[in-house]
Amino acid sequence: MHDLLLWYQHLPPMVAIAEGETVWAYPTILMLHTVGLGWLVGLNTVVALRLLGVGRRVSVAAVKEFMPWAVVGFALCAITGVIFFVSEPPTYLQNPAWWPKVVCLAIAGVNAFVFETGFGRQVADLRARSEEHTSELQSHSFI
């Protein structure tokens, strides 16, 4: 494993990022990583808050339309994260904060996959039926 990581670390693109003549490679990748993180966390927060009942005037189905952008954010984070890792594997492998981060990302990824493939549509349908029923009751109310 160590030999493989050293081989990756010494590939020309990785060397160019870590030690290249341009000062823009690393900051550009870091900026893309940060934008991806913002999309991923921000949009997932919007969806989670809506599922918890915040912003009831907006349908769950409408909020779920942001999820493809959250996936783009995850892809940006994954691609740029691999580039960071491959450019300096020993730095990340020896960092005690890196391992919990990777475990949390794996748990979050499995959670999102299970939710989207199993429960997401059911929750959106359930919320939509509940909102229709609530608005129907309100329309028949005398108060």
**Residues 88-107, mean pLDDT to the nearest whole number:** 86
Taking 80 as the threshold, does the pLDDT of residue 130 lie above it? no
Two structure tokens written together for 59: 């349908």
pLDDT at 142 over 50: no
Q: What crossing angle do the helices spanning 67-87 and 2-9 adopt, rounded to 10°?
A: 100
Report the distance separating Cα 57 and Cα 67, nearest Å: 19
Q: What is the pLDDT of residues 13-48, one digit of tens each?
A: 777 777 777 788 889 999 999 999 999 889 888 988
Q: Is residue 85 pLDDT above 90, yes or no?
A: no
What is the overall mean pLDDT for the chain? 80
